[in-house]
C-alpha cells in the first residue's frame, strides 16, 4: 500500500545545480525509466491505485510513461513524436469522475518510488513531487466527465526547477 505517512530515506547527496534540466538531474533516460518502473510497481501493488490498471494497460506503459515524463522534464520529445500529444494522454485519464483518494495514494506511491531508486537531493525530490501532484490533481483530472471534453492540440506541459513553464 502507498500511504503518505512513510519515512523518507536519508537525504545526504549534494543538490543538483538548477542549471540542469530535471531530466538531466535524474540521469537522463535511464533514471527516468527507473523512476517510472518503480512507480508502476508501487501502484500495481496498491489496492486503490491498482484499480486504474484493472482493465489492462499498454504493454509498454512504463516505457511510454518514462518518455512522457522525460519530455515534461526537459528531455527529448520522443513521446510527442511517437505516441501523441497531451490531449491523447489526458483523454486516457478522463471520464472517471473524481478520485481524490486514488490521486492521494498515487502521489504517495510516487514519493515512495523516489525512495526506491534513492533520489536523495531534497530540491529534486520537492520539484518532482510538486510536478507529480500537479499532473495528477490538475492536468490528468481536468476532464472528469469524459474524453470528448478534452480539446485537441494540447501540448505536454514542461516542468523545470521553477515549476510549470508557461
**Is 10 contained in some domain?**
no
Domain limits for position 26: 22-165
* Averages of pLDDT over each 10 residues, the chain, 166 residues: 50 54 97 97 92 81 96 97 90 76 94 98 97 89 81 94 92
Question: What's the confidence (pLDDT) of residue 155?
Answer: 94
Secondary structure letter of residue 12 according to DSSP: -
Q: What is the CATH number of the domain that holds 120?
A: 1.10.490.10
> What's the domain count of the chain?
1
**Is 6 contained in some domain?**
no
Question: What's the confidence (pLDDT) of residue 57?
Answer: 84
**Is 73 contained in some domain?**
yes
**Is 17 contained in some domain?**
no
Residue 164's SS3 state is: strand
Amino acid at each position: 500500500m502507498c500511504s503518505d505517512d512513510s519515512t523518507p530515506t536519508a537525504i545526504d547527496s549534494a543538490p543538483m545545480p538548477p542549471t540542469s534540466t530535471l531530466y538531466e538531474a535524474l540521469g537522463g533516460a535511464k533514471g527516468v525509466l527507473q523512476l517510472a518502473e518503480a512507480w508502476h510497481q508501487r501502484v500495481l501493488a496498491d489496492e486503490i491505485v491498482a484499480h486504474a490498471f484493472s482493465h489492462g494497460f499498454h504493454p509498454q506503459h512504463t516505457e511510454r510513461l518514462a518518455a512522457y515524463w522525460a519530455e515534461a522534464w526537459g528531455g527529448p520529445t520522443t513521446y510527442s513524436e511517437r505516441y501523441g500529444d497531451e490531449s491523447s494522454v489526458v483523454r486516457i485519464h478522463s471520464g472517471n469522475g473524481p478520485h481524490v483518494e486514488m490521486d492521494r495514494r498515487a502521489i504517495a506511491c510516487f514519493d515512495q518510488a523516489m525512495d526506491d531508486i534513492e533520489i536523495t537531493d531534497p530540491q529534486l525530490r520537492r520539484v518532482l513531487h510538486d510536478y507529480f501532484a500537479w499532473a495528477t490533481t490538475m492536468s490528468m483530472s481536468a476532464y472528469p466527465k469524459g474524453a470528448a471534453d478534452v480539446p485537441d492540440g494540447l501540448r505536454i506541459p514542461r516542468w523545470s526547477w521553477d515549476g510549470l513553464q508557461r
